[in-house]
Structure 1
Amino acid sequence: MASDTLSRRPPTLRRVHTNSRLATAAKEIGFLLSAALLYTLVRGLTSDRVDAAFRNAEDVISFEKTLGIHVETELQSLILDHEWAIDAANGFYIYGYWPVFVLTLVWLIARRPVAYPFYRNALLASGAFSLVIFAFYPLAPPRFLPWHGFVDTVSVAVPTYRDMSSSRLVNEYAAMPSLHFGWILLLGIAWVALSRVLVLRIIGATMPLLMFAAIVLTGNHYIVDAIVGGAVVVAGLGVAVLIERLKRQRAVRAAIQDAHYSAGGDGGPDGDGGSPIPAQRLPNLSRVR
């Protein structure tokens, strides 16, 4: 009988784990749909502020020149005569974002479920910070300013991608912060911190650098956009750390209360500091001679 029970238990546990992961995946889809809705609403707030977006772009360029980091057009000039380099930058910008994003979340849910909530919280918090910036600081991307020497390499080489991404649901004046860089930085941190395979950790460390190059070389973001993208991710990680600390504090308090209750403390059923004695363990005094 015992062996039959043990033989039946693993499939049951697998079904429980599968159902739990499906429920988690469904919850995450809800989060993503909510984020998409918020993004759409913010897009509505900024779509009629095109003039402000271009004024802000001029301000960003002036700010970068003041800092001596306005080198985007110089970097672009290094690849414009090399088709393979343009294809590489475009390819990583397009395929190094959403596919990596989705696959990493699936990997975290399936293989690192304990760590997943931390990175999910960091992702959502950084996204929330970004939405605030999108709403109050619309910014035209470099590719919209060809008179400054910027080239939209994606439109030149992959026009179908621009056609697909130019829907009303896409905020084209949300260059700052660059979540292309920021979220790949966050996912790269997860790869480095959680992967047991050295090659994957190296890839995780390299991905943010490649994405930084891609967003600049394709004319989609300013260098400052990447800096702010990294900053919102750091802020998101800070929120995730705070949430984890609060969860641990609650767990410790709950454990202390449970231990106090079990020991018959102030919150115990007998309230006298002693351990309650079950009735069935009391001696039958009527039989004592």
Structure 2
Amino acid sequence: MARLAAAPGPGRHPAVAVRPRLRTELLLLLICYGAYEVVRNLVPTDHAMAAHRAYLILDLEYAVNLDVEYALNRLFAEHTWIAIPANYFYATMHFVVTIGVMLWLYVRHPGRYPLYRSLLFATTLIGLVGFWLFPLAPPRMLPGFTDTVISFGTWGIYDSGPTAEVSNQYAAMPSMHMAWALWSTTAIITIVRRRWVVALAVSYPALTVVIIMGTANHYILDAVGGAVALALGYALALGAFRASTLALLSRGHPLI
């Protein structure tokens, strides 16, 4: 019989003795990602309201001296050597890094994998709620900003260029790029102790926040929203994990 760890508190993680079945995990990931894409693209698409909210965001940022999006976007738009790598980073790294960290957790740290998997799902669910409640036009849809993907003709981006026709353009708040980057960093720095690995992990969300603004895909408050989504996701995932652990205990499953 598999033995289970007690529910973790802040900074602690479960140590499940048996690695979850790979087939089940892959199926769960596919179902959740498919649901994410379907729901994301069902977000209301009222451009006038989404643009109005965008200007409200910019006004708020201006009031507190956080309106850095335009300056960063100008910098990217004027330098090909910055814009093109940034476009590809934005298009790919949130998938590559997130999937890579999940595989690393599954293979090397199976005891910690279930909580982090649940945290990722919960964070993404909260992001979908944000998309529904607050459809928001990204900076690239506003006059004066440059859509660097269209401007430099790069491929792979999901929210502009030819693929924009199959993607909801107003699913911007919170930024899932930022939320997933912070999730990846959290998973790494709570396990790894090598300083250079920790430094790389911490630099990833820092670089992400610069790129999502420089490519005119997000506002800095979208990034803040991503951090809030992760925090709420942690509370939700931790609560669900504790509830499931108590349910197993009530059925007589032993603890490590």
Q: 1:115-154 residue pairs with structure 2 within 5 A? A: 115-145=112-142, 147=143, 149-154=144-149
Contact 1:118 1:240 in 2 (8 A): yes
**Structure 2 unaligned blocks of 5 or more:** 1-17
**Structure 1 unaligned blocks of 5 or more:** 1-16, 259-289
- In structure 2, the CA distance between the partners of 1:164 and 1:122, relative to structure 1 (3 Å rule), is farther
**Paired residue for 1:112?**
109
Aligned-residue offset at 1:160 = 3.0
Contact 1:93 1:215 in 2 (8 A): yes
Q: 1 CA distance for matches of 2:151 and 2:242? A: 49
Q: 1:80-119 residue pairs with structure 2 within 5 A? A: 80-119=77-116
| Per-residue CA distance 1:159-187 (angstroms, 9 max, x = gap) | 4334463242x221111110001111111
| Residue identity opposite 1:193 in structure 2 | T
Q: 1 CA distance for matches of 2:80 and 2:113? A: 39
From 39, 42, 48, the equivalent of 1:44 is 42
Q: 1 CA distance for matches of 2:176 and 2:33? A: 13
Between 1:119-128 and 1:195-204, the stretch displaced more is: 195-204
Contact 2:135 2:171 in 1 (8 A): yes
Contact 2:174 2:225 in 1 (8 A): yes
Contact 2:192 2:198 in 1 (8 A): yes
2:151 corresponds to 1:166: no
Q: 2 CA distance for matches of 1:234 and 1:254? A: 31
Aligned-residue offset at 1:204 = 1.1
Q: 1 CA distance for matches of 2:211 and 2:235? A: 27
Between 1:245-254 and 1:23-32, the stretch displaced more is: 245-254
Give aligned pairs, total.
235
1:194 match: secondary structure = coil
Q: Which has the larger radius of gyration?
A: 1
1:96 match: secondary structure = helix
Instruction: Give TM-score scaled by structure 1 length.
Output: 0.72
Instruction: Give TM-score scaled by structure 2 length.
Output: 0.81
From 152, 155, 158, the equivalent of 2:150 is 155
Aligned-residue offset at 1:38 = 4.4
% identity of equivalent residues = 28
Q: 1:20-31 residue pairs with structure 2 within 5 A? A: 23-31=21-29
Between 1:23-32 and 1:50-59, the stretch displaced more is: 23-32
Q: 1:118-267 residue pairs with structure 2 within 5 A? A: 118-145=115-142, 147=143, 149-161=144-156, 162-163=160-161, 165-168=163-166, 170-195=167-192, 197-250=194-247
- In structure 2, the CA distance between the partners of 1:185 and 1:134, relative to structure 1 (3 Å rule), is same
Q: 1 CA distance for matches of 2:240 and 2:32? A: 20
Structure that is richer in helix per residue: 1
| Residue identity opposite 1:176 in structure 2 | M
Contact 1:53 1:140 in 2 (8 A): yes
1:97 match: secondary structure = helix
| Residue identity opposite 1:70 in structure 2 | D
Contact 2:149 2:161 in 1 (8 A): no
**Paired residue for 1:6?**
none
Larger relative CO (CA 8 A, sep 6+): 1 or 2?
2
User: CA RMSD for the aligned pairs?
Assistant: 2.5
Contact 1:89 1:213 in 2 (8 A): no
